[in-house]
Structure 1
Amino acid sequence: MKIDGYDAVIQYDPEIDMFRGEFINLNGGADFYASDISGLHKEGKLSLDMFLKMCLEDGVSPQKQYSGKFNVRISPELHESLVLKAAASGKSINQLVVDSISNTIANGQ
């Protein structure tokens, strides 16, 4: 769900019989609850507005900054296969992984 240009992930919480929304890519936590879609939009906007106001008051950027680096743990066997595939493709391991992730995201998988 997108609210005012910010993305939120919505999940159903059976313990309280409500939907829970959580904004992602923010520099802190901002979540909200409602029992229907219109309620999610309303409560999400209230939660986001409060979060953005607090960021403004504190002088911090509301959006999370990403370094472009992350670690992935894989089995030694997969690591070996990756090295072989990269070498056979004439690519670095990093480029092979970047290409694979880009293709996966572009194809909506």
Structure 2
Amino acid sequence: MTTMSYKGYEAVVEYDEDAEVFHGEVANLRDVITFQGRSVAELKAAFAESIEDYLAFCKARGEEPEKPYSGQFVVRADPSLHKAVSGAARRAGVSLNKWVTATLEKAVRD
């Protein structure tokens, strides 16, 4: 499984060995958007076309398309964890935001 992106939208792609076709699904949207191609070039073109169709569909419905993530989110934690994380950030000499971001980046890489 791999990912690809277009205009900030991300898709998860798999190869179906039996059908000899790549198929993908755009991630994290309220609507299900899929695409496929027999080659990487076909796959990229189908992905772009799917996103453009989605944007046009949203416009026709008078809805704003879901935007790619802003980079901001709220995390609710037990107060003792909040205290421990704040202490860890202070000991590392960085802001709580930088500490959490670095920790999340490490977790995603591992």
Task: Using structure 2 for the length normalisation, give the TM-score.
Answer: 0.57
Alignment correspondent of 2:53: 50
Check whether the contact 2:13–2:23 (CA below 8 A) recurs between aligned residues: yes
Which residue identity is paired with 1:71? V
Aligned partners of 1:38 and 1:65: how far apart in 2?
24
Q: CA RMSD in A?
A: 3.8
Unaligned runs of 5+ in 2: none
Of 80, 85, 104, which residue of structure 2 is paired with 1:82? 85
Instruction: Name the count of aligned residue pairs.
Output: 100
Q: What TM-score do the two structures reach when normalised by structure 1?
A: 0.57
| Matched-pair identity in % | 21
Contact 1:8 1:21 in 2 (8 A): no
Per-residue deviation at 1:54?
Answer: 1.0
Query: Could you tell me which residue of structure 2 aligns to residue 64 of structure 1?
Result: 67
Kept in 1: contact 2:9–2:68 (CA 8 A): no
- Structure 1 residue 32, shift from structure 2 partner: 0.6
Higher relative contact order (CA 8 A, sep 6+): 1
2:11 aligned to 9, 12, 25, which one? 9
1:1-21 alpha-carbon deviations (Å, 9 max, x no partner): 344x34433422436442222
| Aligned amino acid, residue 13 of structure 2 | Q
Shift in Å at residue 58 of structure 1?
A: 1.0
How far apart in 1 are the matches of 2:8 and 2:73? 23
